[in-house]
Structure 1
Amino acid sequence: MADASEIHSLSAGAPLTDEQLLASYAVADRSVPWLRANFVSSIDGAATHEGVSGGLGTDSDGRVFGLLRRLADVIVVGAGTVRQEGYRNLALDAESAEWRTSQGLAAQPPFAIVTASLRLEPGDLGSYATRPLVVTTESAPAESRKRIEEVADVIIAGDAAVDTVEMKHLLAERGLVQQHSEGGPTLFATMIAQGVVDELCLTVSPRLEGGSARRIVDAADATPQNMSLAHALSAPDGTLLLRYLRAAR
């Protein structure tokens, strides 16, 4: 019986090793600011099962998810996703931390939590493996900002709404150049609209979800952006792992 986390290229061949997968997702020039988004979707377009994206995950998706975190300088996530998906006390495993240090990276990438309102609990932020970053706005409540600054580094990007162009620039200035975004759909919509998405890694889970689940993008207005397929991988259970790059302008 095939390993449920086994991954192949669509042209078949031997299962890909972790090192082969890391090489296939690596960005050629790590010095150039790069924002990668990572999502999972059912084949009928649902981004969640029973309200969380984790409900659509497969073993192969989880494997790639972990490897993408290995490659990141920073993990970017919206505060709504932190609350909904239960992001708490997150740390890469020992194998991943060892791999990162062997590549000259910090053992643990920090999390950058995006919130215009600063509706976060300082106690939750204090449980991360490394001091987190909080990306917010100039107009966020001053008292909330003061409380958050006790446990996190606060980055101001935008006035009333978070400016993801400024966020990408400010993170890169801190040496956090390879930016890995894990949602959610509203933050991703803003990133698309503001033109900062360089890459989308999309897992297509082999199931029909039905219902009224959200898509991976939640926006009122369309903001089209052409992408090109960099690779397509598959798993024995029918999971597709797609990597798209920003198309040449």
Structure 2
Amino acid sequence: MSVGIPISRVWPVPATGPLTDAELTSLYGRADRPHLRVNFVSSADGAVTLDGYSEGLSGAADKRVFGLLRMLCDGLVVAAGTLRHEGYRAVRLSEPRRAWRRTHGLTEYPVLVVVSGSLDLDPAQAAFADAPVRPVVLTHAGAEPPPGLTDVADLVRCGDDRVDLAVALAELRRRGLAQLLCEGGPHLFGALTAADLVDELCLTVSPLLAGAGPGRITAGDPGAPRRMPLRHVLATDDGTLLLRYARDDEPPAA
């Protein structure tokens, strides 16, 4: 696989020369148990957006790892607000990445999983209408779907008046989606953290200061702090850092 934008490992064991996609894939890997990985990018001063969007913080290295993490997951979890605001398209992968998945006994594409309490979703959005595999929408018993949504997605109700995330993850795993990647937004990350459901955080730190205004990568009601040890530090020549944190009971990637 190609090297792409040069990314080097600086900790715990420095690597000489840039990492290939195969080496990056090995570093991040797939867990040997049900696993929820969260992926975010932030500025050096902690902002989650620049000019209102995460795209302004993301660079070539972040996009490269972003694509590899999608290749590794069974289900891609995103909040409805992020899906709308960031203009998500259908979750598609390049042929080499689809081939990697086939070789490792996975379906060609991960399943898009949307978390929505209000079901304020547009069935015509490309994320649904152009999806290569049928998305799943996690909601609660009191939510009413808009016309056409159940034509393009499976509706799964978890909870009476709010989405019960623990029940939702158990349902996804019952469907065979054991390795989950969450791309936000901050309120979903905060709720998953409060429910003690996050196993791993992959955080790209962009070498810029966004200044006052933007929120953090997590939001919502405060919860108890949770230990999440650092597993590796990767870096690029322009000063971008790619950090991977995982629970104490998660072994480091090879």
Same fold (TM over 0.5): yes
In structure 1, C-alpha distance between the alignment counterparts of 2:133 and 2:249, rounded to whole Å: 36
Structure 1: which 5+ runs fail to align? Answer: none
Residue 62 of structure 1 aligns with which residue? 63
Residue 192 of structure 2 aligns with which residue? 191
Residue 16 of structure 2 aligns with which residue? 13
Residue 123 of structure 1: how far off its partner (Å)? 1.5
Aligned partner of 1:198: which letter? D
TM-score calculated relative to the size of structure 2: 0.91
Render the CA deviation track for 1:186-217: whole Å, top value 9, x for unaligned. Answer: 00000000010000000001111103101000
TM-score calculated relative to the size of structure 1: 0.93
Is the partner of 1:227 in helix, strand or coil? Answer: coil
Residue 211 of structure 1 aligns with which residue? 212
Render the CA deviation track for 1:139-159: whole Å, top value 9, x for unaligned. Answer: 112xx2663211101111122
Structure 2: which 5+ runs fail to align? Answer: none
Show the 5 A alignment for 1:80-99: 80-99=81-100
Is the partner of 1:175 in helix, strand or coil? Answer: coil
Runs ≥4 in structure 1, deviation > 4 angstroms? none
Render the CA deviation track for 1:75-125: whole Å, top value 9, x for unaligned. Answer: 000000001111023311112111111111111111001101111011222
Is the partner of 1:69 in helix, strand or coil? Answer: helix
Contact kept? 1:145, 1:154, Cα under 8 Å: no
The one of 22, 30, 34 equivalent to 1:27 is 30
In structure 2, C-alpha distance between the alignment counterparts of 1:158 and 1:229, rounded to whole Å: 34
Contact kept? 1:33, 1:168, Cα under 8 Å: no
Contact kept? 2:43, 2:209, Cα under 8 Å: yes
Is the partner of 2:133 in helix, strand or coil? Answer: coil
Residue 4 of structure 1: how far off its partner (Å)? 7.6
* Identity across the alignment (%): 45
Count of equivalent residues = 243
In structure 1, C-alpha distance between the alignment counterparts of 2:30 and 2:96, rounded to whole Å: 21
Is the partner of 2:137 in helix, strand or coil? Answer: strand
In structure 1, C-alpha distance between the alignment counterparts of 2:229 and 2:222, rounded to whole Å: 22
Is the partner of 1:241 in helix, strand or coil? Answer: strand
